[in-house]
Amino acid sequence: MAKIVAGIATSHVPAIGVAMDRGMSGTPYWDPLFKGYEPAREWLAKLAPDVAIIVYNDHASAFSLEIIPTFLIGVGDRFPIADEGFGPRPVPVVLGHPPLAWHLAESLILDEFDMTIANEMQVDHGLTVPLSVTCGQTAAWPFPVIPICVNVVQYPPPTGARCFKLGMAIRRAIEQFDQDLRVIVYGTGGMSHQLQGERAGLINRQFDTAFLDGMTRDPLALTRITHTEYMREAGSEGIEMVMWHVMRGALDERVAEIHRHYHVPASNTAAGLLILENRGPA
Amino acid sequence: MTKPRDYESIPGTYVYDAERGRIGYALNMFCMSLNKAENRRRFKENEAGYLDGFALTGEQRRTVLERDWLGMLRVGGNIYYTIKIAFCDGLTFQDVAGMMSGLPKETYAQMMLAGGRSPEGNRYKDRTAGEIKHG
Per-residue pLDDT of chain A (282 residues; tens, 9 = 90+): 999 999 999 999 999 999 999 999 999 999 999 999 999 999 999 999 999 999 999 999 999 999 999 999 999 999 999 999 999 999 999 999 999 999 999 999 999 999 999 999 999 999 999 999 999 999 999 999 999 999 999 999 999 999 999 999 999 999 999 999 999 999 999 999 999 999 999 999 999 999 999 999 999 999 999 999 999 999 999 999 999 999 999 999 999 999 999 999 999 999 999 999 999 998
- Same-domain pairing of B73 and B109: no
Cα dihedral B38, A151, A10, A52, rounded to 10, equals -90
For residues A178 and A279, give the distance between their C-alpha atoms in angstroms, rounded to a whole number. 23
Within a domain: residue B96? no
- Same-domain pairing of B87 and B105: no
Q: Most B CBs within 10 Å: which of A12, A198, A203, as the mutation test of the B interface?
A: A198
Restricting to A residues 93-152, those with a Cβ less than 8 Å away from any Cβ of B are none
Show residues of chain A in contact with B38, CB under 8 Å: none
Within a domain: residue B77? yes
This complex has an ipTM of: 0.95
A59/B13 Cβ within 8 A: no
How many independent structural domains does chain B possess? Answer: 2
Strand partners, A94: A79
**Dihedral (CA of A61, A66, A71, A73) sign:** negative
Nearest CA distance, A157 vs chain B (angstrom)? 10
Within a domain: residue B35? yes
- Same-domain pairing of B74 and B109: no
Enclosing domain of residue B45: 13-91
For residues A160 and A54, give the distance between their C-alpha atoms in angstroms, rounded to a whole number. 17
- Same-domain pairing of B82 and B109: no
Q: Does A153 touch chain B (CB under 8 A)?
A: yes
A97 included as an active-site residue: no
Which distant-in-sequence residues (6+ apart) come within 8 Å of B129 by Cβ? none
- Same-domain pairing of B81 and B106: no
Within a domain: residue B62? yes
The third-level CATH classification (topology) of the domain covering A3-195+234-266 is Protocatechuate 4,5-dioxygenase; Chain B (3.40.830)
Q: Structure pTM?
A: 0.97
- Same-domain pairing of B84 and B125: no
Which distant-in-sequence residues (6+ apart) come within 8 Å of A61 by Cβ? A82, A83, A84, A122, A123, A124, B35
Within a domain: residue B8? no
Amino acid identity of residue B18, one-letter, is A
Of A83, A154, A198, the CB nearest to B101: A198
- Same-domain pairing of B83 and B121: no
Strand spans (E) along chain A: 3-10, 51-56, 71-74, 78-79, 94-95, 116-118, 145-150, 182-188, 255-266, 269-278
Query: How far, rounded to the nearest angstrom, does the alpha carbon of residue A74 sit from its chain's CA centroid?
Result: 14
For residues A11 and A126, give the distance between their C-alpha atoms in angstroms, rounded to a whole number. 9
One pLDDT digit (tens) per residue for chain B, 135 residues: 567 899 999 999 999 999 999 999 999 999 999 999 999 999 999 999 999 999 999 999 999 999 999 999 999 999 999 999 999 999 999 999 999 999 999 999 999 999 999 999 999 997 555 578 888
Q: Could you tell me the residue ranges of all domains in chain A?
A: 3-195+234-266
- Same-domain pairing of B19 and B68: yes
- Same-domain pairing of B64 and B32: yes
- Same-domain pairing of B24 and B87: yes
- Same-domain pairing of B83 and B116: no
- Same-domain pairing of B26 and B48: yes
Within a domain: residue B132? yes
Model pLDDT, residue A28: 97
Helix H or strand E segment including A89 = none
Of A61, A64, A194, the CB nearest to B13: A194
Task: Search chain B and give the residue with CA nearest A229.
Answer: B7
Q: Does B54 touch chain A (CB under 8 A)?
A: no
